[in-house]
Structure 1
């Protein structure tokens, strides 16, 4: 038979045995004054280190599970919000915020030769535009009216800078831009993300004849009205970053731009020949 422990309620004497003694050998009280001591489990003492560690571990696991469930439930909504912001920025570069993106824009991806790549998720590439460019995958957003929006990516003073440049149907004249950043200095380099700065690009051209020259942010003020805008005052490094971003990004799309420029020139040439023929026939 297992040994039990009984404690005298008067003097605290501990007796081990199958039952309490008839009387306490120390203070002489009867067996009725003894209490059976129950064995304590590992976590029965709420003040013990084991209990505190176990309780803390359980609480951490429970909180982690709740946070994971909350993150998963919000993931789709967060994705939709980010996607909506990107679509809105693309439309904003075209000054077409009143348009329905899905009806107005044809999004696709091209390779280094300007050929379409099928089966690519355009917006997934936008999430890592630097990686997409390095892999030779270039997202394009073509509006129904013939204008094209090109995403651009570069590095400013403190981190990545990116945006969207809309080109007119001539693939040369800038229709609008939207530029953003991750950490440029407020009041200085961060001014690249303001409508006031964006407005300077409208009407600028990125080609000089057949040569890509892009648009430059010039310190001290633009001197070439066709290809330059004012640099950010006090933000020289950020301005240089934007200049490099535009030229490098446009270079990736050069085959597409040249092909579209050539295609646009063909109808004009055909129309000119047709007019000449009409003149000859009339004569």
Structure 2
């Protein structure tokens, strides 16, 4: 009986010890690789911005970090005023993290939240591209809920702030073959030249099921109504008065030096 107890105890000891060792190895690897993971994530964001703006193709290989530094100027925007927050360094500002903290964000009511984001940070980051000293593209981060996940992406506008130059979603958890078609190049190409703000500069995007034939319409994703509605809502929200709308108005008025 004693020998059996000793054997059982040794088995438990070995199992616990093995779990502890594995936990330490996994934790250590996570700490060691954290900087590399953050760098890869930042590089993917830069690549997505360049693709949305049409600087590089979706399958093109390049030194994205170098291109980003050469082509893109980041600005932090005060959503309430539309002014540039000159006391906040764009390189260190994380809009997604800011939206999670009560002291750096606001809670949205249901009526204020068509994109279902729940909280909106007080500031946002926008990206400008210039050619020969003149504004060429404005790239705006957008996110909102689809069917199963929050969709994260960028929409690039021409200098008129109304016309789409490109769009790219770089993170989502939608259904493959249905909602996940938001990354399909054929569907993305349908956005080029569409007008997402009307003549009064109000958000006017519509995703329609029966064939898009208006300048503000995009074909909805087949079999993915909730994802399509989510895309429509998130684009209209982030281009509206409660987000980047005031900034875009001042940009058109020449108040941001471009």
Q: Give TM-score scaled by structure 1 length.
A: 0.71
Does residue 259 of structure 1 match 2:250?
yes
Does residue 221 of structure 1 match 2:211?
yes
The answer on whether the counterparts of 1:175 and 1:203 sit within 8 Å (CA) in structure 2 is yes
Paired with 2:6 and 2:48, the residues of 1 have a C-alpha distance of 58
Q: After the TM superposition, which segments of 4 or more aligned residues of structure 1 sit over 6 Å from their partners?
A: none
Residues 107, 46 of structure 1: alpha-carbon distance in 2 compared, 3 angstrom cutoff: farther
Question: Structure 1 stretches of 5 or more lacking a match?
Answer: 1-41, 268-283
The answer on whether the counterparts of 2:140 and 2:155 sit within 8 Å (CA) in structure 1 is yes
Paired with 1:244 and 1:49, the residues of 2 have a C-alpha distance of 59
Residues 175, 193 of structure 1: alpha-carbon distance in 2 compared, 3 angstrom cutoff: same
Does residue 54 of structure 1 match 2:13?
yes
How far the C-alpha of 1:122 sits from its partner, in A, is: 5.5
The answer on whether the counterparts of 1:159 and 1:181 sit within 8 Å (CA) in structure 2 is no
Paired with 1:126 and 1:82, the residues of 2 have a C-alpha distance of 14
Among 130, 140, 151, which residue is 1:144 paired with? 130
Paired with 2:99 and 2:147, the residues of 1 have a C-alpha distance of 17
Residues 122, 216 of structure 1: alpha-carbon distance in 2 compared, 3 angstrom cutoff: farther
The answer on whether the counterparts of 1:108 and 1:122 sit within 8 Å (CA) in structure 2 is no
How far the C-alpha of 1:236 sits from its partner, in A, is: 1.4
Residues 151, 261 of structure 1: alpha-carbon distance in 2 compared, 3 angstrom cutoff: same
Among 149, 152, 164, which residue is 1:174 paired with? 164
How far the C-alpha of 1:181 sits from its partner, in A, is: 4.8
The answer on whether the counterparts of 1:83 and 1:123 sit within 8 Å (CA) in structure 2 is no
User: Cα RMSD (Å) of the superposition?
Assistant: 2.7
Which of 1 and 2 has greater Rg? Answer: 1
More deviation in 148-157 or 63-72? Answer: 63-72
Residues 130, 198 of structure 1: alpha-carbon distance in 2 compared, 3 angstrom cutoff: farther
How far the C-alpha of 1:223 sits from its partner, in A, is: 2.9
Tell me what 1:27 maps to: none
Q: Give TM-score scaled by structure 2 length.
A: 0.77
How far the C-alpha of 1:245 sits from its partner, in A, is: 0.8
Residues 121, 169 of structure 1: alpha-carbon distance in 2 compared, 3 angstrom cutoff: closer
Write the mapping of 1:79-94 to structure 2, written as runs, cut at 5 A: 79-94=38-53
Question: Structure 2 stretches of 5 or more lacking a match?
Answer: 57-61, 106-118
Tell me what 2:72 maps to: 105
Tell me what 2:184 maps to: 194
How far the C-alpha of 1:148 sits from its partner, in A, is: 1.0
The answer on whether the counterparts of 1:93 and 1:165 sit within 8 Å (CA) in structure 2 is yes
Listed one character per residue, the Cα deviations across residues 146-167 of structure 1 (whole Å, up to 9, x for unaligned) are 2110011111111111210111
Matched length: 223
